Structures are given as structure tokens and as C-alpha cells.
Amino acid sequence: MQIQPGVRRPQRADARRNFDALLAAAREAFAEHGSGTSLEDIARRAGVGIGTLYRNFPTRQDLFDAVYVGEIEALCQAADAVAGLEPWDALTGWLHRFVDYAATKRALSEEINRDSPMIRECRTAIHEAAGPLLARAQAAGVARRDVSADDLLRLISGLTAGGYVDDAQRERVLTIALDGVRAR
């Protein structure tokens, strides 16, 4: 699924590099410091001037939306990338990537208009990515049949809503939750 944020990726190679560098810098800055990160800091991290940032993202909201859509697209691509693995490995591999996405979403949560058509498209894309992985794991008998994709996404989203002492603790909590999803 191709989701269109309010801005478009430039055609010229040098402009595309700047655009991509700005998105990467913004994603990193938002993850580290939240949505209040200064645009000047993002431009500096990307190695471009503030004018280049505004040329690509006329408003702060345009930048938030582009980062968010980029995360959704990467999440959907990750579902395709793990599809060839064993069913349980594919499902859990993708859910680990989902946890990473949730961290970016948490950093942007105050800035995202949850009722916008773009966000509804993003939700649909996430469910379309998760659904086949879960169905395949259920068909293989390795995931509980009474779990829906929506149940699973809500479970993992809830787990990521809180902070963790470190990555090891986050991994333990995810493993415990996934143990409840595994078929017995």
C-alpha cells in the first residue's frame, strides 16, 4: 500500500538525498528528544540548511507526517521481508520491527491527527501487513486461533506504551507477551 503524506519526494538525485537525510535525521531526533526537537537541530543533523528543510517540508506537520508515513512503509516492507521465514519466526520478526515503529509513533503521538485520512490509511496498511503473517502462523498451528490481528497489534502497542529500563527488559516483556500468543 502506498500512503501519500502531504509532501512528495523530489525527483532530482541531490534533492532526494537531502529529503532522505532530513527524514532520517528527524526520525532519529524525534526518537531521542520527542516531537519538540528543533527544526534547526534536524537540519544540522541532516547536514543541510534550514531553508532546505522548509523547502522540503513547508510546515512542521508536513515533517511529522512524512516521518510517520515512512515508518509505516518500512513496517509494511518488513512484513514482505520476513514472509519467507518459518511462520512463527516471520510473525515474531515482524512484531519486533513493530515495536521499533511504536517508539517513533510514541514520540510523534502528540503531533499526529489520529482522525486524518492519512492515519486511517496507515492503520489499514498495518493490519494488512500483520494479518497474513498471523494467519499463516495460525494455519501452521504455532499461533492461537482465537487471536485476531487487531488483538495482537493492540497487545504489542500496549506493551510499548510504557518505558523500559533497557532494551533487555523490553525484549523480556515482549517474549512473555508472545508466549501468550503461541499455540499450545
73-87 per-position pLDDT tens digit: 989 999 999 999 999
Which residue is it, cell 510514541? 106
Quick one: pLDDT at residue 154?
Answer: 93
Are 86 and 175 contained in the same domain? yes
Within a domain: 122: yes
Are 43 and 66 contained in the same domain? no
Q: Which residues of the chain have pLDDT under 50?
A: 1
Would you call 143 helix, strand, or coil by DSSP?
Answer: strand
Quick one: pLDDT at residue 4?
Answer: 54
* Distance of alpha carbon 166 from the chain centroid: 20
Q: How many CB atoms lie within 10 A of CB 176?
A: 10
pLDDT digits (tens, 9 = 90+) for 6-31: 667 666 788 889 999 999 999 889 88
Quick one: pLDDT at residue 9?
Answer: 66
Are 39 and 78 contained in the same domain? no
Residue 92 backbone dihedrals phi, psi, to 5 degrees: -70, -35
Quick one: pLDDT at residue 163?
Answer: 76
Q: What is the pTM of this model?
A: 0.81
Picking from 5, 9, 27, 1, the residue whose alpha carbon sits closest to that of residue 117 is 5
Q: What is the CATH number of the domain that holds 18?
A: 1.10.10.60
Q: Bridge-partner residues for 143, per DSSP?
A: 182
Are 48 and 86 contained in the same domain? no
Are 104 and 44 contained in the same domain? no
Within a domain: 126: yes
Which residue is it, cell 515482549? 174
46-52 contacts, C-beta under 8 A, 24 or more apart: 46/18, 46/21, 46/22, 47/21, 48/18, 48/21, 48/22, 52/18, 52/22
* Distance of alpha carbon 77 from the chain centroid: 11
Are 126 and 37 contained in the same domain? no
Quick one: pLDDT at residue 6?
Answer: 61
